[in-house]
Structure 1
Amino acid sequence: MKRLYNITYSLLAATLLLSTQSCIKEDMSDCPSDIRVYFNYVEGSYASAKEGINPSDVSQINLYVFNADGKFLSEHVDPAPKMSKDYFITVPGLETGSYQFIAWGGLDSELYNLSEPLVPGQTLLSDVQLHLQSIQNDTIKAALAPLFHAAHRKGVIDVKKGISVKDTLNLTQDTYKINVTVDGIKANGDNYLLSVEDNNGRYRFENSIASQTKFNYISPCTEINNGAKLTSSVTVLRLLENRSPILRVFNETKGTIAFEKNLVELLMLINTVGGKIDFSYMHEFDIELIARNGVELSFDVIINGWRVIENGSGLGS
């Protein structure tokens, strides 16, 4: 076995020597090279605050390479990434030029798919989108798997053949979990639903929202504390400032709305009481609605421990 190892090592050394003969002086055209693509993100720290990305939530990474003109060249898939600051995907064999690298994390979920097959040398970056599936009758009841997007801050990475490149894509989480507890309203046999109405079911490859059609993320409420409270959670796609998703607690049995508010405006109220909201790294929010004297549409509101509304009579959208 030792002799075999020595022979193999010698053959490998000889191969490497031959492959580097043309790398002497200025001629680097035949040198081995690769691109190492790393990922930059705020790592999750949920012990003290619900912030950052949990690396274990990134179940699969699809890395797409486009040329400077936006023409698709190749796809590189890691079905089980072990995310860390040292994690990278290698893209070999690119010619000298500028390239656009786009990555999606979580496409192994059946809830997400691309608008069309990507054909090397044909598909344009501007033509392909990511779609949320399973929207029926303007609602989606399925629990969304975590979705991530990554791109380079400058848009392109410059490559020179024969020179290995290490560069970084900024990883963004596109899913947000909204946990709602309603205190002070008893269901008394009625069915309550938590919903978020939005139009963010389609995305261009640079991660901008492409759709206009509204739909509702819906999750049923359950009773806790012997019926003294209602609770529910819903996962939604991108939350951004200056958008208008509507959060509702809905009495399905009676067809009445117990609570309704622009979700983004509601969360941003944390900024007015000494807290901070940043949707680029904050992805989970606990909203507690405390009914005043058991009356619907009149609530105190606490978000992530911050009391943002008191005497909230007449809350509306």
Structure 2
Amino acid sequence: MVDKARRPQSAAGTIDGQAGIRDVDESRLSGCGHNRLWILSGRRVANRGADILAVVTTRVFRALITFGGLVALAVALSSCDVGGLHPIFPNPVSPNGQDIYNTYLGISVPAIIIFLGVEAALLWVVLRYRRSTQPVGYVPPQVHGNTPLEIVWTIIPLIIVLAIAGYSFVELQKDFQPISNQQMTVIVSGHQFGWNYEYENGVVVHQEGTLAGDVTPFVVPTHTLVKLDFRGTDVIHSWWVPAISGKTDAVPGYDNFSWLKIDQVGTWRGECAELCGVGHSTMQIIVQSMDQSDFNRWMAQQKTASPSASPSASPG
């Protein structure tokens, strides 16, 4: 049976400012792929494929602009201090901090390269094989499996993940091995909400949490390997100065340790990295390094003031 030929349908519209009835072929009103979209006057509005391409291009452009802005913001923030902390890239001043930074770069750089490669391939496929570039009724090849390809894209990510795990494990184990050649030992005790630093001669520096100003610095001499023995007196705390070392937990009933060796004079900030109560945000950490002669004078002042009292003023 032969279908009846399409018959023009009447439709209302406004043409050149005048209302009227026109005969419109319904087959010309809409379509997909290469079909044109027409309004009642018969004028062409746009090619739907071109419209889709324009939308995709605009969104990709906006995404690239946003990404570029975020990268620029990250670079800008990394070059300045926010409360003494570098928000993106730390500047390591201790060998263990440098090792952690190198590990961070060793993982992040390949990850960024892979991410950009995958996104570029995805964008190329979307634009290269969009519907508007294909013939009407085109059906792409139906692939139901490719065993060699599936093996390859399973093994390669597995190798990458194992390499990252092995590299990270070796680096972190190297930095957290017990040491016995330290030149100084300091007991670091975490409590709600502050830190105590007890030197071998009995001098104790108290860092009581506050948001009103800076806490009293924990002072160490330069070019000196200092072992830090960590203890928790109430709940778990975590001592973290990004430029010096990784996070080290102070756990009640468990002796933990870390170390530092700073070869330059300066001051570095950190904070408690373990949620420990309502005053957690006040647990600042300030580490100050000074030359051995200046450190000896500072220590003599503390012993003269009181063997177990915190300094009344920050060291000069």
TM-score (norm 1): 0.26
Q: Which has the larger radius of gyration?
A: 2
More helix by share: 2
